[in-house]
Structure 1
Amino acid sequence: MSLTIVIGRGHSGTRAISHTLYASGVFMGNTLNRSGDKVPPQAMYDACRVFSRHVSWQGGLDWDFASLNEMPIDAEFQGLLDEYLADVIGDRSSRKGWKLPETTLVLPWIVRLFPDANYIYLVRDPRDSILGGHKTDDLADFGVTYPKTEDLFERRAISWKYQYDLVEATPKPARWLEVRFEDFILHQDRELTRLEQFLGFDLGRIIVRPDSVARWRNAEVVPDFDFLRPHFVDMDNV
């Protein structure tokens, strides 16, 4: 049995991978929304809130995730995760998985519970990732403490950084592949070859839209924060 877990902050392009896997015969849950999310998501949302109780805010834009890699996994979290994944775990398909951006918020425990799964991590220029609103914009909705701000883009940027830092702090499983959204859209065949080699089976081709890349160039307000700049994509080198 092959299990594939797609992670990445909301609006990072995870839907493209979810749609690709679905088009390739991978069971991604009984019900998917237009974004390719496995729904309903409420049990996972609640699991995220249980997880965040164990995250220590150090002030500013620093959080301590170290204990999450070693402490016992909260039984309440396990029960909520089992509820969310009941259809996937119970399905007899040889290839299955799921995609929900909020999975990123609990990645350390997901990796510990599913160490042998295939993990596909989507990254995207944060300027594009935070142009539009997403459920995870206000981390307080998931029990995460962070510097309060009335600036909508700053709130989204902090959420982006929190999730990036959480992924970085998570020991990587044996089967881990990072895919940049811009590469997948502009060089689909090349990136599909990488994914096929990683997963071990052929993938279908979905329609992609080149105009979804570097949308920030046409935005009325371009989000620009010092802590995001190291992650900006240089389109001249894509």
Structure 2
Amino acid sequence: MDVALAATATEDAATLPQSLDESFVEILISNLKSFMFAGHDTMASTTCFIVKCLGENHDSLTKLRAEHDSVFGNDVDSATSLLQRSPHLLHSLPYTLAVIKETLRLYPLASTMREGRRNFYLTVPGSPIRYPTEGTGIWLSAHGLHASSDYWPDPSKFLPERWLVGEGHPLRPVKDAWVPFSAGPRNCIGMELALAQLKLVTIFTVRTFDIEQAWGDWDKQCGEKATPSHLVNGQRLYPVGEGAVHPKDGMPVHVRLRAQAIR
């Protein structure tokens, strides 16, 4: 609350209420609840898909761990104290952010809807047709956009490097083609917080644990109650759900302490 009030104090004083009346406080608290708590479920699911992508791409996992060692040293426990003293180090992890963004490209967990308006039309590049939107809901499919080869070379491949190349490179992401948090002035209010949290979770997870999917043991444990074992895009683990997206069956895994984490 203090941070929000301090931020409001830096805005145009003419637009702010002269006192914290009840309605202003209610709006502020409501937004803070949304900001802090709405992303908990999606955070957990995204962490699972980060683990999945890294488990299937060992070169990326090796590069990620090397980046963490270069910033925090080889002592697994050092990251905690270093980040407490120097939180800006969280912004010194370009490959970590690239891994997170690429995971969210392959596994976006939400879409966005906007209300249509009179005299606002949807158009398709190369087509003269204008589609009226009045009285409709416009639903942007993040998954469809992220999987389109019109915008993403090798869209089905996990390539964190696409987020690290310069202007003019064929892998360079097209502006506004990455929309796991939507885009524009009404994008997700929690985007920056979510990315910071995902960096922290990724750092401590991959430095401490080796994680692998465990479908064989899962099927044995569930027996006849096991869910169908068919594949989607050649994979046993895929997103499921209505509304909020989760990994199938909660993503059964084996988790082992890395040798570096054992004292």
State if a TM-score over 0.5 links the two structures.
Answer: no
Normalised TM-score (structure 2) = 0.24
Identify the structure with bigger relative contact order (alpha carbons < 8 Å, sequence gap 6+). Answer: 1
